[in-house]
A and B are shown apart, each in its own frame.
Chain A
Amino acid sequence: MDLDFDIVDLGPADHPEAGEQAPDFTRPLVTDEYWSDVALSDLVARDDDPTVLLFHPMDGAFPATYAWKEVRQRAWHESATVVGISISTPYAHKRLIDERELGDDYVLYSDPANGVAETYGIAHDLDGMAGVSEPRPAVFVLDDERTIEYAWVATEWPDFPDYDEIEAAIE
């Protein structure tokens, strides 16, 4: 079957690579019970396990739903701290945590002004949504000092992470 659809080429992103230190930031971190400002540097240092920083489109868009379904099915919380980040508000993150049944296994940063994506060189202006910018889909696996062990950033839109590759990086 010949499917006739378009993938938009986003071109290369100037993002931090494996071996480099991921930029630190502080944003509201949303749990299933409340949100409070938390620095990424504090979050990665909480446990010995690696941290998966998962940039995804705004909550409610299907790639966000898919990503969390996949992560939850694979139970990555058993071997990593998995933190999502999107431009959605803390209220939307709370809904996502409820709907995807993430419980206290997963947490999400809220970054409505998209400053973190800017810092990471992965900001992406949305066509047809004037004034709205969000991160490209991207995944960074970090050690407890924010050294990047694995990096993937979409160069097409839409594009999806390679979950097997990420899983190999956290195990």
Chain B
Amino acid sequence: MSDTDIVCYRLQACPFCERVVRRLQEYGLDYESRFVEPLHSERDAVKRLTGKRTVPAIVDERHGVTMSESANIVEYLDRTYGDGDDGGVA
């Protein structure tokens, strides 16, 4: 279990994951990184959560949200933690 609000499943050196992590950092969110294997077949932990084996995937306990696909996640983070409704930070 983690005492942070957001768990981020990621793959080392995956640019889509870095994109999500950068957003988490921009919004100053406390997150736990869980690194998974390059082999898709080894990613059962992610599959159990999202139904898919792709990363990045996040679990945001505070809002009861679990999702994958970096574009979706970034959009969600902007909407939930961003300042305005323009979906981005300067």
Interface residues of A (CB under 8 A from B): 28, 33-37, 90-91, 94
Total cross-chain contacts (CB, 8 A): 23
B86 within 8 A of A: no
Q: Which residues from B are CB-within-8-Å of A35?
A: 34-35
A36 partner residues in chain B, CB cutoff 8 A: 2, 32-35
The minimal Cβ–Cβ distance linking B10 to chain A, given in whole angstroms, is: 9
B85 at interface by CB-CB < 8 Å: no
Main secondary structure of the interface of A (DSSP, over half): mixed
Q: How many residues of B contact A (CB 8 A)?
A: 12
Give me 19 other A-B pairs in contact (C-beta within 8 A), A33-B45, A34-B34, A94-B37 excluded: A28-B35, A33-B36, A33-B43, A34-B9, A34-B35, A34-B36, A34-B45, A35-B34, A35-B35, A36-B2, A36-B32, A36-B33, A36-B34, A36-B35, A37-B32, A37-B33, A90-B35, A91-B37, A94-B42
A90 to B33, CA, bound (A): 14
Q: Per-position contact with A for B57-89: 1 when CB-CB < 8 Å, else 0?
A: 000000000000000000000000000000000
Residues in B neighbouring A34, C-beta threshold 8 A: 9, 34-36, 45
Chain B 29-41 interface 0/1 with A at a Cβ cutoff of 8 Å (1 = within): 0001111110000
Q: How far is the CA of A35 from the CA of B9 in the complex (A)?
A: 10
Q: Which residues of A have CB within 8 Å of B33?
A: 36-37
Find chain A residues with CB under 8 A from B9 CB: 34
What are 13 A-B interface contacts by the 8 Å CB criterion? Answer: A28-B35, A33-B43, A33-B45, A34-B34, A34-B35, A34-B36, A34-B45, A35-B34, A35-B35, A36-B34, A37-B32, A91-B37, A94-B37
